[in-house]
Structure 1
Amino acid sequence: MSGELSCVHEQARVYAHMTLMLDDGSVADSSRANGKPALIELGNESVSAALEQQLLGMKVGDKKTFKLAANDAFGESNPNLIQFMDIQNFPQDIDVSEGAVLAFEQPSGEPMPGIIREVQGHSVKVDFNHPLAGHTVTFEIEVLSIDNPPQTH
């Protein structure tokens, strides 16, 4: 049974280097670029079930490359998360240009990133979807370490 704990299972916390690529081959994100591994927590819905399935059974040192459709990666783009705001509502010292990522405060006080998609006159189109929503993503993962919570019997 102890051998089972040396691989990724349903409740593991996995530290891994991850590189995310789009279909055109461009790198969308990479933990290697900033030198800080990603923490992936399984079993708490912080990542998709499809991503968890790809990780299950991997061991420290394992490397894997796989592709997930948008729905299994970061979800489809949700039109309800695209909002139009008046440019007057933005502080004057903020760069409100297409492609800029700004932090907006949610009612709970938590920050939420929004991407400026378009500026037309006084209207600013802000997209609160994950930046990779709607994209098929290729994942390159290398497992660095696995934290296993205490097993309860």
Structure 2
Amino acid sequence: MAEVKTGDTVRVHYEGSLEDGRKFDSSLDREPIELTVGSGQVISGFENAVVGMEEGDSRTVTVPPEEGYGPHDPNLLHKVDREQVPDEIDLQVGAQLQATDRQGQVIALTVADFDDSTVTLDANHPLAGQDLTFDVKVVEIVK
């Protein structure tokens, strides 16, 4: 039977969880995802996990931050005046916001902290700095 190699297009089911067991994503309630291994469509640790697997194989792999969403970068924490956040936004720690940078790119932000005068926004990916565990099953090697 053929093994998955770089350049192959595969269909996989997965379930992702954090060190504390909380699930952060899963394909189990929808169609498997399709990706071309080595194309950078998903994090490198996920791609590396499927290399060498065969159709029907399952595996559990833990992906370190360096092969996931990177380490948590404290330089991506930004403190802004509370007035810069529109009044209609219900501020809560963990709330996801969007902003536009000077080049017009949309940036995802997470509220890290706030008080009466400032809001601390985190531009790191929400999974940055975390070990990610994936249960992966190769459903099909499309080629």
User: Is this a same-fold pair by TM over 0.5?
Assistant: yes
Distance of 1:146 and 1:90 partners within structure 2: 47
Gapped regions of structure 1 (runs ≥ 5)? 149-153
Distance of 1:40 and 1:143 partners within structure 2: 11
Query: 1:122 corresponds to which residue?
Result: 117
Sequence identity of aligned pairs in percent? 29
Query: 2:128 corresponds to which residue?
Result: 133
Query: 1:21 corresponds to which residue?
Result: 17
Which structure 2 residues correspond to residues 2-151 of structure 1 after superposition, within 5 A? 4=2, 7-33=3-29, 35-148=30-143
Letter aligned with residue 20 of structure 2: D
Q: CA shift at 1:9, angstroms?
A: 2.1
- The 1:39–1:98 alpha-carbon spacing in structure 2 relative to 1, beyond 3 Å, is farther
Letter aligned with residue 79 of structure 1: P
Distance of 2:102 and 2:11 partners within structure 1: 32
Gapped regions of structure 2 (runs ≥ 5)? none
**In proportion to residue count, which structure has more helix?**
1
Distance of 2:34 and 2:4 partners within structure 1: 13
- The 1:112–1:41 alpha-carbon spacing in structure 2 relative to 1, beyond 3 Å, is farther
Deviations 1:88-137 (A, max 9, x none): 12222222211101122234434222111101222111111111111111
Q: CA shift at 1:56, angstroms?
A: 0.8
- The 1:27–1:89 alpha-carbon spacing in structure 2 relative to 1, beyond 3 Å, is same
CA contact (8 A) 1:58 1:143 kept: yes
Distance of 1:147 and 1:17 partners within structure 2: 14
Q: CA shift at 1:30, angstroms?
A: 1.8
